[in-house]
């Protein structure tokens, strides 16, 4: 693998900031100063910014689309002043699978149209969509239905020259692995429909497990050696099967191994891997997942597009971690250099 010094870098706005004083403008300043070129704009950050800046009498929510568009124009200007672009709007969730006559189906499309307005306002053409984690008893398990819904979504966004980056969430009801979203992507068969791959979502689903003492998958009596063998084979399949132009961007984070295995049940509506994702995701090399393996597999497809850091670092206990914005952003930039060096070394 050649030297990898020219990867474009983004930082998810939701991935930095641990205090109320860490407002979106301060986040943008820190991300820019560290040398990143773009952000993933998260909806919670936009809502918070809108409430702080617009000071409406009513609370601005995720469905206050006119107000969010107004705030989005200001965010776009702020980003430009820091030489940042807005790579993507995220995270759009629980879109596919609802019965056509259900209120959830109508709500999903209402959200699509509202988010498209915001995308125009902030100046991005890319919508991140996570594989649904709605209960199977509500959305079913028929992949053909999911494909049909996502094809409709891609066609609708294409009218505005927008794209969909579809991501496997490792606690998803129907598409927890990269192989699932790649199969769906092929069946959707639209030029503007591609993948958001993620080091945590794949390594944390196929290799790691927060429910076990070892921190590794043990389902079906899997041994550590078999988990490692299966994981290496999965990375090799990715390299050989996914074209580089169908990877729209790569999200990067690691995971802490919980000191006590998680209970194997939903808590506050979140499955174990969902809880793990929310609070136990530091930068690479600070956790225990094989992040280098997956990053190298993606690079071995020939992909040289955007890397984006999306971390949710609540510390090893998942209870919160205090830090300064500039220090955290600079640590991510240093991590990027180390990650690329590790990928190069693994290939030599």
∠ CA 287-284-226, rounded to 5°:
60
Q: Which pLDDT tens digit goes with each residue over 144-161?
A: 999 999 999 999 999 999
* 332 confidence band (pLDDT: 50, 70, 90): very high
Tokens 């909806």 identify what position? 43
For the cut 80, the answer to whether the pLDDT of residue 109 exceeds it is yes
The span from the CA of 111 to the CA of 109, in Å, is 5
* Predicted pLDDT at 177: 98
Q: Which pLDDT tens digit goes with each residue over 243-259?
A: 999 999 999 999 999 99
* Predicted pLDDT at 321: 85
* 6 confidence band (pLDDT: 50, 70, 90): confident
The span from the CA of 280 to the CA of 317, in Å, is 8
Q: What are phi and psi of 13, to 5 degrees?
A: -60, -30
271 token code pair: 């499955």
- Beta pairing partners, 250: 197, 307
What is the rounded average pLDDT of the residues 119-141? 97
Is the separation of the CB atoms in 220 and 303 below 8 Å? no
282 token code pair: 């530091």
The span from the CA of 151 to the CA of 193, in Å, is 8
Is the separation of the CB atoms in 99 and 105 below 8 Å? yes
What is the model's pTM? Answer: 0.96
140 token code pair: 């079913």
Choose between 3 and 179: higher pLDDT. Answer: 179
Is the separation of the CB atoms in 130 and 95 below 8 Å? no
* Predicted pLDDT at 56: 87
* 2 confidence band (pLDDT: 50, 70, 90): low
- Specify the 3-state DSSP secondary structure of 212: coil
| Terminal-to-terminal C-alpha distance of the chain | 7
The span from the CA of 210 to the CA of 133, in Å, is 18
Share of the chain above pLDDT 90, in %: 91
Instruction: Find, among 222, 135, 237, the residue nearest to 177 by Cα.
Output: 237
* 322 confidence band (pLDDT: 50, 70, 90): confident
Is the separation of the CB atoms in 202 and 170 below 8 Å? yes
* 310 confidence band (pLDDT: 50, 70, 90): very high
For the cut 70, the answer to whether the pLDDT of residue 76 exceeds it is yes
Domains and CATH numbers, the chain: 9-347 (3.20.20.150)
* Predicted pLDDT at 242: 98
- Beta pairing partners, 270: 267
Exposed, middle or buried, 345 (CB in 10 Å: 0-12/13-18/19+)? exposed
* 1 confidence band (pLDDT: 50, 70, 90): low
Q: Which pLDDT tens digit goes with each residue over 31-70?
A: 999 999 999 999 999 999 999 999 888 999 999 999 999 9
What is the rounded average pLDDT of the residues 302-313? 96
For the cut 70, the answer to whether the pLDDT of residue 4 exceeds it is no
- Evaluate the omega torsion of the peptide bond into residue 279 and state whether it is cis, within 30 degrees of 0: no
* Predicted pLDDT at 153: 98
What is the rounded average pLDDT of the residues 207-217? 97
For the cut 60, the answer to whether the pLDDT of residue 3 exceeds it is yes
Other C-beta atoms closer than 10 Å to the C-beta of 65 total 20
For the cut 60, the answer to whether the pLDDT of residue 288 exceeds it is yes
- Beta pairing partners, 40: 12, 88
> How far is residue 56 from each of residues 22, 67, 72, 115, 288, measured CA to CA in Å?
21, 9, 15, 20, 45
* 304 confidence band (pLDDT: 50, 70, 90): very high
């Amino acid at each position: 693998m050649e030297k990898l010094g020219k990867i474009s870098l983004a930082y998810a706005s939701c991935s930095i900031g641990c205090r109320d004083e860490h407002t979106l403008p301060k986040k943008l300043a820190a991300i820019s100063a560290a040398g990143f070129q773009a952000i993933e704009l998260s909806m919670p950050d936009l809502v918070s910014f809108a409430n702080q800046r617009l000071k409406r009498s009513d609370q601005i929510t995720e469905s206050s689309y006119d107000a969010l568009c107004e705030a989005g124009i200001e965010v776009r200007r702020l980003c430009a002043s820091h030489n940042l672009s807005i790579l993507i709007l995220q995270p759009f969730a629980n879109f596919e699978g609802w019965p056509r006559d259900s209120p959830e189906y109508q709500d999903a499309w209402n959200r699509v149209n509202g988010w498209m307005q915001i995308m125009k306002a902030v100046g991005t053409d890319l919508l991140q969509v996570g594989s649904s984690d709605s209960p199977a008893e509500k959305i079913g398990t028929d992949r053909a239905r999911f494909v049909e819904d996502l094809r409709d979504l891609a066609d609708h966004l294409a009218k505005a020259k927008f794209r969909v980056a579809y991501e496997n969430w490792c606690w998803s009801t129907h598409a927890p692995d990269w192989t699932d979203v790649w199969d769906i992507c092929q069946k959707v068969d639209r030029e503007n429909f591609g993948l958001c791959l993620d080091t945590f979502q794949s390594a944390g689903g196929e290799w790691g497990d927060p429910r076990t003492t070892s921190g590794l998958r043990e389902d079906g009596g899997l041994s550590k050696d078999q988990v490692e063998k299966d994981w290496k084979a999965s990375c090799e399949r990715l390299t050989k099967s996914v074209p580089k132009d169908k990877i729209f961007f790569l999200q990067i984070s690691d995971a802490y191994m919980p000191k006590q295995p998680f209970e194997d049940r939903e808590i506050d509506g979140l499955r174990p891997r969902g809880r793990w994702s929310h609070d136990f995701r530091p930068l690479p090399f600070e956790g225990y997942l094989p992040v280098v393996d997956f990053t190298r597999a993606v690079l071995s497809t020939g992909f040289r597009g955007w890397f984006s850091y999306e971390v949710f670092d609540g510390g090893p206990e998942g209870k919160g971690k205090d830090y300064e914005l500039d220090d955290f952003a600079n640590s991510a930039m240093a991590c990027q250099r180390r990650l690329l060096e590790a990928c190069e070394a693994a290939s030599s």
